[in-house]
Structure 1
Amino acid sequence: MANGTTTAENVQLFKDLSSASNFDFVTLTTLKQNTPRKPLMHTTKLNVELLLTGNELMSGDVIDSNSAHIAQELGQLGLEVTRRVTVKDDLNLLADEIAQHTKRADMLVINGGLGPTVDDMTAQALAMAANVEIEEHKDAMAHLLDWCERRNYHLSDSNKKQAMLPAGCEIIPNESGSAVGFTMNVNGCQIYTTPGVPRELKKMMGSEILPHIQQCFSIDDTTDISRFQVFGLGESTIQDIVNEHLPDWPSHIELGYRAAMPLLEIKLTSHHQQGHDDKPIWQKKLYDLLGAHVIGEGR
């Protein structure tokens, strides 16, 4: 280490500094998501994909934070997002992208494009992809009327667009905004549409979409995540150590790194029972290799 100090001295110094900053060194935290559910569709591993739409995302005027929230929420059910795509507000492009997702995904979450303006195209695009008509949904219209009445607003023609949805869809209530979400199955892919407004999205994901997923799917696997913090080693150095001393690292235990100076977080993730059972063994092997460089464990 620099300045002639030992690894142990640097570790203790960092712990002292961290203590002053209220850094919580805790025992190993394991995140387990295993919620009882009423299954309608059975699967062992869901292919979950995200589709975001908006010119503001493509231009960089708005930084996407919604996909991170969606992925974290789905992770509570042990679901892992395998693909994320963002497209501009183009009707044909959006409809084609939805159709492509339905060919390979078990579940698709679409974010954005539910508003009242001409660049909000999700409902029409999904109707095109599903080859169904777009029509006024009585429950969506009832939501709009109630939303306007509670705020003493006039229901404009533009807002009425938010009640024009693909035939056969089921609405997803939106307690915070005028635009309901909706869900439907296309080619065996369950599609959920969500508002682009973060506050509305967060409420809808927690109170409506996650419970709906639990009712629709039997999810055999759970996700188990263990994290610990390392000081004084870079990710390339750690990877070299793993390659040299643990060349048979099992594929069913994912090894991930996240650099956040001056710490490096190591994350071990398993998605099924064999991985859950084996993970403590391999975590100890890695822990023993890194020795005093491991200074904290937790989430």
Structure 2
Amino acid sequence: MLQVVMISTGEEVLHGDIVDTNAAWLSRLFFQHGFALSRRTTVGDHLEILASEIEQCSLTADLVIVNGGLGPTTDDLTAQAAAVAAGVGLEQSEFWVEQMLEKYRAFGREMPQGNLKQAMLPEGAEILDNPVGTACGFQMKLNRAHLFFTPGVPSEFQVMVEQEILPRMKALHPEVSTLECHRLYCFGLSESGINDTLSTLNLPPLFQLGYRSSMPFIEVKLFTPKGDAQVPVVMNEIRKHLGENIVGVGLTMLDTIGSHFSQSPLTLTVAEQFTGGDVLNWLQDNPATQSALSQAWLLTTHVDPSISDAEPMGAALAMAAAARQQTGSDLALVCGSLHEGAISIALSTPKGDWAQHVRTKRDYGNKAHRKMVATLMLDMLRRWQSGETVVGQYESFETLSELFLPVEPM
């Protein structure tokens, strides 16, 4: 099995001052191209430790990506560590010096002398072009491994990986096949429950399921050989197993809602009590849902308790109807206040009005609770757009009551 390792460098990464987004990005990209990472490690700005890690990885891995530490400052030690690991000296690349001078001429600036450090490479290393910044990457062979060294700036790193490194890796290992990732987004099911539900699937060779929990969604990922003819059949089987809890196929729930608004332009008013603007803010993240939004009302959560006790769904339905009437919107989506752990939400449409009174089956903190209710509200809208049953069934919610009021004939 091909062994692929990534070494991230830098005290700021090691100690959590910054999030290592490069590692997550590279892991996804390499997996899809058939170069799944075997291991990831992080090393601080210590010459001996970094040199030792590079040498150890070169003995056990086939491909090694070393990210960071190619800048002009004294704590940028990667090139020197690579030279120590290989037992060679550093030499100045006159070619890269000229490349840096040209970049600074284009900026209308004089290059600082400190940047010459970025042209000091291990003897025998091959330059990897960096069209974005001043730090070149480089490639070298050490023991069993081909090593690729890259700058840490994400915009530079990503361009270098896609344009310089991946083509070289594929040339070195042409037997590796590219994978595709097909994504389904689920709401209202647990990760373990989905895993149990899909455990009976007979997947074709080289097909693999993966899961990612990002509250309140579970993302189901099907990895397949690129262009495999069996993909539609397997995807259809997964959809049958997960049923109405799938809120997006290849698209997130919000993007799915946005695609419906793009195909059938309607206007929407939102009125929120408990969620406090979470739905409004969420709708801003997609151009189509943002355009569909006519008005948004943020209402105080302090309401008359007697009204909430007597008619929680009635109050939500009345709020939804009033929102449509007063704003002239095609649709209105509302939630009431939280009372004794339960909340009512309602959707008013030209075809009728729906409401449900629900509570979550487990305790959440305030922020997570609001997110769960906001998701439930938007899923009512998505279901109506898709022609599904508007009030769904969810493992995470207990439906205390529900109501549908059809449009009265004229």
TM-score category (smaller protein):
0.7 to 0.9
Q: Which position in structure 2 is the counterpart of 1:268?
A: 222
More moved, 279-288 vs 100-109: 279-288
Q: Which position in structure 2 is the counterpart of 1:290?
A: 242
Bigger RCO (CA 8 Å, 6+ sep)? 1
1:95 CA displacement: 0.5
Q: What amino acid maps onto 2:44 in structure 1?
A: K
**Residue 20 of structure 2: SS of its match in structure 1?**
coil
Q: What amino acid maps onto 1:178 in structure 2?
A: T
Contact 1:73 1:206 in 2 (8 A): no
Give 1:8-47 correspondences, 5 Å limit. Answer: 46-47=2-3
Residue 231 (structure 1) aligned with residue 183 (structure 2): no
Residue 97 (structure 1) aligned with residue 49 (structure 2): no
1:49 CA displacement: 1.3
Q: What amino acid maps onto 1:74 in structure 2?
A: F
Which of the pair has more CA radius of gyration?
2
**Residue 218 of structure 1: SS of its match in structure 2?**
coil
Aligned in 2, Cα 1:87/1:230: closer, same or farther, shift over 3 Å? same
- Give the one of 53, 65, 72 matched to 1:109: 65
RMSD between superposed Cα atoms in Å? 2.6
Contact 2:180 2:225 in 1 (8 A): yes
4+ aligned runs moved over 6 Å, structure 1: 247-251
What is the TM-score of this pair, normalised by structure 2? 0.55
Aligned in 2, Cα 1:72/1:238: closer, same or farther, shift over 3 Å? closer
CA distance in 2, matches of 1:230, 1:217: 36
CA distance in 2, matches of 1:175, 1:231: 42
1:283 CA displacement: 4.7
- Give the one of 213, 236, 257 matched to 1:259: 213
1:85 CA displacement: 0.7
Deviations 1:162-219 (A, max 9, x none): 1111011111111221111111111131111111112222222233223333333313
Contact 1:79 1:223 in 2 (8 A): no
Q: Which position in structure 1 is the counterpart of 2:8?
A: 52
CA distance in 1, matches of 2:205, 2:173: 26
Contact 1:73 1:205 in 2 (8 A): no
Residue 175 (structure 1) aligned with residue 131 (structure 2): yes
- Give the one of 139, 142, 150 matched to 2:95: 139
1:91 CA displacement: 0.4
More moved, 168-177 vs 261-270: 261-270
Q: Which position in structure 2 is the counterpart of 1:19?
A: none
Residue 121 (structure 1) aligned with residue 77 (structure 2): yes
CA distance in 2, matches of 1:161, 1:295: 52
Where does structure 2 lack aligned partners over 5 or more consecutive residues? 252-410
Contact 1:56 1:62 in 2 (8 A): yes
Q: What amino acid maps onto 2:219 in structure 1?
A: E
Residue 84 (structure 1) aligned with residue 58 (structure 2): no
**Residue 156 of structure 2: SS of its match in structure 1?**
helix
- Count residues in correspondence: 251
CA distance in 2, matches of 1:282, 1:77: 21
